[in-house]
Amino acid sequence: MAGASDEPSVPPCELLEWDSEHFGLAIARVTPGALTVEGPEAIDAWCRDRGVRCLYLCADAADAETTRLAAAHGFRVVDVRLIARRSYEGLLELSTGPELEAREATETDLAFARDLAARSHRTSRFYFDGNFPRDRCDALYEEWVERGSRDPDRRLLIGVLDGNPVGYIVLTPLGPDLEGHGELVAIEERHRGKGLGRALSFAEWRAYAARGALIQRGVMSLRSIAIIRLHEQLGFVTDEVQVWHHKWYGGLQTSRADG
């Protein structure tokens, strides 16, 4: 067993309290975002010492060495994420799509938003992993959308068509970099394919522009083709590609039958 002096000065991982509490098992994340040849052993030791069951690693897609090492040490790729940006210059002059009212969520909108959230993010890494209980994945997005309404730093916008709610978007706080970023968006299934996602995105961007945003950031799973296409059509250009890996310790959850 390694002595205290062999402990790395910077921990290789961090425990994720919210995720751990939500899923009911210890979850951590590799902090550097890259693996070295020596890294996996220290990471495994750190995780075993703390009873970690699932470990996330988010790495640069171009970092082939990290991806190779991750695969060789039991990580599995669960998502690839594009991060695209666009200046606000000329953005709000583009065609916004169909007429759609967007307003702040009220208490009565929350049931609609939670219900929609529970069924709208099924291609995310949590579902794709296959080892998180499906109902807890649903609940993750329900809670996320509700946080958009209750957190004073966030906003939850509801898209309204003919007086009925048809979708939502959660706005994150605008940081000192003046970069806007909507973190969760969904349109009701029966209204998809009509351009309402575009209309709701423009509502989001108008809200950020009113707060002084200069750049808009889109963070999209490669599995979300429609959202990526929307951003590409509007002149967003990809700045980063990240790969999410998950590794499970001590046997997997047995959630597959739940789904």
Partner 1 sequence: MTAPGNQTGTPCELLEWDSQHFGFPIARVLGSSLDCDAAGRVDEWCRANQVRCIYLLADAKDADTSRVAAESGFREVDGRLVIRTALQGLAEPHLGGLAGMEVREAAEAELGQLREIASVSHRGSRFFFDTGFPDARCAALYEAWIDRGFVDPDRTLWVATLDGVPAGYHVIGPAAPDGIRRLELLAVDPNRHGRGIGTALILSTMGALRGEGAEETWTILSPRNLPSIRLHERVGFLIESVQVWHHKWYDGG
β-pair type (237-248, 54-60): antiparallel
Binding to partner 1, residues 103-142 (CB under 8 A):
123, 127-130
Residue 135: CB minimum distance to partner 1, A? 17
Task: Write the secondary structure of 98-142 as one string of H (helix), E (strand) and C (coil).
Answer: CCCEEEECCHHHHHHHHHHHHHHCCCCHHHHHCCCCHHHHHHHHH
Residue 130: CB minimum distance to partner 1, A? 5
β-pair type (54-60, 27-30): parallel
Q: Any contact of residue 94 with partner 1 (CB under 8 A)?
A: no
Q: Which is nearer to partner 1, 8 or 235 (CB)?
A: 235
Q: Any contact of residue 68 with partner 1 (CB under 8 A)?
A: yes
Rounded Cα–Cα distance for residues 115 and 112 (Å): 5
Cβ proximity of 81 and 46 under 8 Å: no
Q: Any contact of residue 178 with partner 1 (CB under 8 A)?
A: no
Rounded Cα–Cα distance for residues 172 and 179 (Å): 10
| Interacting residue with partner 1 among 8, 64, 135, 150 (CB under 8 A) | 64
Provide the mask over 208-247, with x wherever binding to partner 1 is found by CB under 8 A and - wherever it is not.
--------------xx-x--xx--xx--xxxxxx-x----
Binding to partner 1, residues 25-44 (CB under 8 A):
none
Q: Which is nearer to partner 1, 76 or 154 (CB)?
A: 76
| Interacting residue with partner 1 among 15, 61, 215, 219 (CB under 8 A) | 61
- The H-or-E segment that residue 243 falls in is strand 237-248
Which residues does 129 contact at the CB level (< 8 Å), separation at least 6?
76, 78, 246
Q: Any contact of residue 76 with partner 1 (CB under 8 A)?
A: yes
Tokens matching residue 221: 């799973």
Q: Any contact of residue 101 with partner 1 (CB under 8 A)?
A: no
Rounded Cα–Cα distance for residues 185 and 188 (Å): 10
Q: Any contact of residue 77 with partner 1 (CB under 8 A)?
A: yes
Residues of this chain that interact with partner 1 (CB under 8 A) are 61-62, 64, 67-68, 71, 76-77, 80, 82, 84, 123, 127-130, 222-223, 225, 228-229, 232-233, 236-241, 243
